[in-house]
Amino acid sequence: MKLFGNSKRRPEKAGTEAEAKTGTKRRKLSGAKKAGIALGVVLVVAVGAVAGYLAWEKPPERANAGLVDATKESTAPAETDGAEDAAEPTAAPTEDPNAGAPASLNENMYTFAVVGLDQSSNSTDTIMIGRIDTENHTIDVVSIPRDTMVNVPWGVKRVNTLYSVDVNEGGNGIDGMLEGFRDLLGFELDCYALVDLTAFVELVDAIGGVDYDVPIDMVYYDASQDLDINIKAGMQHLTGEEALKVVRFRKGYATADIGRIGTQQDFLKSVASQMLTLGNIPNLPKFLDIFEEYVTTNMTAANISFFVRQFLLCKSEDINFHTAPGNGGDSVKGNSYYALYVDEWMALVNECLNPYDRDVTEENVNILTHSYETGFYTTTGVIEGGRNSFAAHPSYVESTPTPAPEPVETPATEPEQPVTEG
């Protein structure tokens, strides 16, 4: 009976014939030599893989449109009613010896925006603008509060309306959003990533969750936003769903959105620290798949891989988070606004975000701000849509000055005559 082939004798090993002809035996390799050969093979494969990876990854194409001349781009208000639409004029520009020369882009600096999109309201709930320096291996990220006042013609002049208004007007949302960012920065960004809530959950789960010290007890319920938060303070390992609740929670902070921004930044620092400690991003292929499926971006997979490698070259202490300076207690017609401190904002932009060799000045930006003491101020001298275009909160009742009462004339009375006794 034949089993698995014929019954012929198995051929002799090749070495047996050679040994018979030469009369010598093949020498066996020592364990050390085997290990050396194995190590050499691994190194060759590794070098080939790295070479292939480096050939595949690619930095993004740069905008390189130069600094914006906002003085030429500002539009007239939709309705003109004299001085009422004007804000305090822009200060006279200082003499610049390089005036007229185009700004040069630093080839080692890349700028980006990471924006969290709330699909239920189509508004951008989290806005972060950043710059990565691939020469010095540093990253700076600036959070923009969602109520930041912007110079736009519609009624609710907040930065988190840029996306939704553009969509409502037939756009893709992204163009309007990036145009608004350009007004604040004075230059175009290289890259953007619009991240929805599902992507955030999936990305955190893809890296195995995050160890994070939750700063306060977080309890909040809102059926309209599908939010049911009940997380205790303290160090814990957060899943994607739990992490999302932590970074969305804002009601328990004394400073509301600014407190939430601080927690978001601390959480991202924890993520960065854990990734840099590992020296890699776990499940990187899955990470890229999630990015491709759930994130709207102008980056390719090769671009993302480029930024991943640049990120892994950084140290955790060289990743810095900032918050746009401003007043979070401002309001116009009952609607709350975060009013930028223009001078401090310009200094932060130039220090942490500007990729050009010349400073951004007020001539490059289109910023509207407000304070109770000084009123409105805009860097272009124009409030888009006019001062009266600001929408009023439903509970707002505009106060009208009470007219002063007209003076009432009282008839003069004759002095009483002294009475003489007779």
pLDDT in tens, 91-129: 444 455 555 567 899 999 999 999 999 877 788 989 999
Q: Which residue has the higher pLDDT, 51 or 345?
A: 345
Locate tokens 């994070």: which residue?
Answer: 212
Q: What residues have CB less than 8 Å from 113, skipping those under 6 apart?
A: 127, 128, 129, 130, 178, 181, 189, 191, 192, 193
Quick: pLDDT tens for 5-23: 344 444 444 444 544 444 5
Burial call 214-251: b when 16+ CB within 10 Å, e when fewer: bbeebebeeeeeeeebebeeeebebebebbbbbbbbbe
Helix (H) or strand (E) holding 131: strand 123-133
Where are the domains positioned within the chain? Answer: 106-208+252-384
Quick: pLDDT tens for 135-157: 999 999 999 999 999 999 999 99
Q: Are 207 and 271 in contact, with CB atoms under 8 Å apart?
A: yes
pLDDT above 80: residue 182: yes
- Top-ranked range on mean pLDDT: pick from 38-52, 171-185, 205-219, 243-257: 171-185
Q: Are 163 and 116 in contact, with CB atoms under 8 Å apart?
A: no
- Residue 61: the pLDDT is 86
Helix or strand or coil: residue 119?
A: coil
Quick: pLDDT tens for 287-343: 888 888 889 999 999 999 999 999 999 999 999 999 999 999 999 999 999 999 999
Q: What kind of fold does domain 106-208+252-384 have according to CATH?
A: Aminopeptidase (3.40.630)
Q: How many residues does the chain have?
A: 422
- Phi/psi region, residue 181 (left: phi>0; alpha: psi -120 to 50; beta: rest), is alpha
pLDDT above 60: residue 90: no
Q: What is the mean pLDDT of the chain?
A: 81
Give the predicted TM-score (pTM) of the model: 0.78
- Residue 364: the pLDDT is 97
Give CA–CA dist 359/107, Å, rounded. Answer: 16
Q: Are 300 and 109 in contact, with CB atoms under 8 Å apart?
A: no
Q: Which residue has the higher pLDDT, 408 or 163?
A: 163
Give CA–CA dist 54/57, Å, rounded. Answer: 5
Helix or strand or coil: residue 30?
A: coil
Give CA–CA dist 186/219, Å, rounded. Answer: 40
